[in-house]
């Protein structure tokens, strides 16, 4: 087995790259049968003819040498060449023709079964409590890569060690998930009583709509413990990996994002910048519905401006607008209509359930974290039974890992990126059709 990185072929001296290609394949011929693995092939295999200068000519010579060596093999020589890249769109077409890299395998993020298998591999290195169910953790971590899952278990092990526990429990796994996703708890943050109350009402608005709206992903928990730039969060857990986004689910999710601002205004008669992330999230979803998913009656099944936004596994910064100003105004009008309708629906539901929103907010102020069963109890009965034993933000025993849906952002530091738009999370990011 021979392994080399594409960047290893690139040197400052002319001819070194091509010479290294020939040397590598000469060694491979002497060691047949064997595998030759080239990592980051795009470093040397980019499309020829792009760019100017001697450095580009040297890279093209290296690529030409690689193409010649690959063409010179017989099927009986026992040499298999494998390459990896996260930018297949920039590779030279000659590399991908039959007889060279003619079989392309895309490796996506793991699904729920893949995540469970990865967790089992890494769990062999640590001691888990009997209560730990890795299938639950796998179901609650959509969009996580193998490295993130390994990091989650490492963080859980550190948390258990700090608590002098001999085994990792579900509590540590959930705390580790929250830390990996959002960062450390900021319990040292000096929040005024007014800010804490406002945040509690904000999250209560999200939580009650999550319970009342039929097509939202099930509520997992709601908290007002600050993490990163977020002062609180309402989390929902998809029943399974999200593969398609349905119109009713998108409309209900947009409606739920409106709940924070409405509840804030209901509490104080004023509004703040805490809903900046919610507004960004709702706008992205509504725009995706209109311009990419064909969910607008006025515009129909036409995609607008989506061709240049994404490049396979990366993002192309160059964007173009391939429609008229009249169409742009129509798109803006449709997006605004979707958001306004969602706001009106959310306002009606929260107004009808104002006492329950107040009860959730008061419970959040007292206990900091509520799970779904506790919020549902308040929605059904109007109060929280003290025997239900809220955990005060220390994590739910046996609670399932979850993904963020909405969060309250610090008033003086609006978010640069909405954490609710991760691949596979409740709030879908616009993506190519």
Q: Tell me, what CATH number does 386's domain have?
A: 1.20.58.760
Tell me if 104 is assigned to some domain: no
Does some domain include residue 10? yes
Q: Which residue has the higher pLDDT, 90 or 153?
A: 153
User: Domain containing 8: what range?
Assistant: 2-96
Q: Do residues 265 and 274 touch, judged by C-beta distance below 8 A? A: no
Residue entry with tokens 């007292």: 366
Last-in-domain residue among 142, 160, 182: 182
Which pLDDT belongs to residue 45? Answer: 81
Q: In angstroms, rounded to a whole number, what is the distance separating the alpha carbons of residues 66 and 42? A: 13
**Which candidate in 174, 203, 334, 368 is catalytic?**
203
Q: What is the pLDDT at residue 386? A: 66
Residue 103 resides in a domain:
no
How many residues does this entry show for the chain? Answer: 433
Average pLDDT over residues 363-384: 86
Question: Residue 24, SS3?
Answer: helix
Percent over 90 (pLDDT), the chain? 27
Is 214 a catalytic site residue? no
The total of structural domains in the chain comes to 3
Domain boundary residue among 40, 68, 96?
A: 96
Instruction: Compute the distance between CA of residue 221 and CA of residue 233 in angstroms, rounded to an integer.
Output: 8
In this structure, the answer to whether residues 199 and 172 fall within a common structural domain is: no
Beta strand residue intervals within 198-246, DSSP E? 219-223, 230-236
Asked if 285 and 399 sit in the same domain, the reply is: yes
- Does 36 lie in the same domain as 170? no
**For range 218-237, the mean pLDDT:** 83
Of 157, 182, 207, which marks where a domain is finished?
182
* Same domain membership, residue 359 and residue 265: yes
The single-letter DSSP state of residue 396 is -
Question: Both 298 and 149 in a single domain?
Answer: no
Same domain for 24 and 171, yes or no, is no
DSSP string spanning 289-356?
Answer: HHHTS---TTT-S---S-TTTEETTEE-S-----S-HHHHHHHHHHHHHHHHHHHHHHHHHHHHTHHH
- Is there a single domain that holds both residue 218 and residue 287? yes
Nearest to 343 by CA among 245, 244, 254: 254
Q: Which residue has the higher pLDDT, 191 or 161?
A: 161
What is residue 221's three-state secondary structure? strand
Residue 324 has pLDDT above 60, yes or no: yes
CATH of the domain at 128: 1.10.8.60
Residue 177 lies inside a defined structural domain of this protein: yes
For residue 144, the cross-strand partners are: none
Asked if residue 188 is part of any domain, the answer here is: no
Residue with tokens 């929605």: 379
pLDDT of residue 12: 58
CATH label of the domain that carries residue 13 = 3.40.50.300
pLDDT at 327: 87
Whether residue 427 is contained in a domain is answered as no
Same domain for 136 and 29, yes or no, is no
In this structure, the answer to whether residues 290 and 417 fall within a common structural domain is yes
> pLDDT over 70 for what percent of the chain?
80
Whether 92 and 205 share a structural domain: no
pLDDT digits (tens, 9 = 90+) for 37-89: 988 888 888 887 655 444 456 677 888 888 888 875 555 477 888 899 888 88
pLDDT of residue 48: 75
Q: Could you tell me if 134 and 264 lie in one domain? A: no
Is 79 in a helix, a strand, or coil? strand
Q: Does 138 lie in the same domain as 36?
A: no
């Amino acid at each position: 087995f021979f392994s080399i990185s594409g960047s290893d072929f690139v040197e400052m001296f002319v001819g070194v790259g091509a010479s290294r290609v020939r040397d590598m394949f000469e060694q491979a011929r002497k060691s047949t049968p064997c595998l030759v693995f080239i990592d980051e092939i795009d470093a040397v295999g980019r499309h020829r003819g792009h760019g100017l200068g001697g450095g580009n000519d040297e890279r093209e010579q290296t690529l030409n040498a690689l193409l010649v060596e690959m063409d010179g093999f017989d099927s009986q020589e026992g040499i298999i060449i494998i390459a990896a890249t996260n930018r297949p769109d920039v590779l030279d077409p000659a590399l991908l023709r039959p007889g060279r890299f003619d079989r392309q395998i895309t490796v996506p993020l793991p699904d729920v079964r893949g995540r469970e298998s990865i967790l089992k591999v890494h769990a062999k290195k640590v001691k888990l409590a009997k209560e730990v169910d890795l299938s639950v953790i796998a179901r609650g971590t959509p969009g996580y890569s193998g490295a993130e899952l390994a990091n989650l278990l490492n963080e859980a092990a550190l948390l258990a060690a700090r608590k002098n526990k001999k085994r990792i429990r579900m509590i540590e796994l959930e705390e580790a998930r929250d830390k990996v996703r959002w960062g450390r708890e900021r319990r040292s943050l000096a929040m005024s009583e007014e800010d804490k109350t406002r945040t509690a009402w904000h999250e209560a608005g999200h939580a009650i709509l999550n319970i009342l709206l039929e097509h939202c992903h099930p509520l997992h928990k709601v908290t007002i413990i600050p993490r990163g730039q977020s002062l609180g969060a309402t989390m929902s857990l998809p029943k399974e990996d999200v593969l398609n986004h349905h119109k009713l689910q998108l409309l209900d999710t947009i409606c739920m994002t409106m709940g924070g601002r409405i509840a804030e205004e209901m509490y104080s008669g004023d509004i703040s910048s805490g809903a900046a992330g919610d507004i960004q999230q709702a706008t992205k979803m509504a725009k995706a519905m209109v311009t990419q998913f064909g969910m607008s009656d006025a515009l129909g099944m036409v995609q607008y401006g989506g061709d240049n936004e994404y490049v396979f596994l990366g993002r192309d910064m160059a964007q173009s607008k391939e429609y008229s100003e009249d169409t742009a105004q129509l798109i803006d009008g449709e997006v605004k209509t979707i958001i306004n309708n969602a706001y009106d629906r959310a306002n009606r539901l929260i107004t009808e359930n104002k006492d329950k929103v107040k009860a959730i907010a008061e419970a959040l102020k007292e206990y900091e974290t509520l799970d779904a069963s506790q919020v549902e109890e308040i929605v059904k009965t109007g109060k929280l039974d003290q025997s239900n034993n809220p955990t005060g933000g220390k994590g739910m025993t046996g609670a399932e890992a979850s993904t963020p849906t909405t969060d309250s952002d610090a008033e003086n530091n609006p978010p640069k990126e909405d954490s609710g738009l991760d691949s596979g999370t409740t709030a879908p990011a616009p993506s190519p059709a």
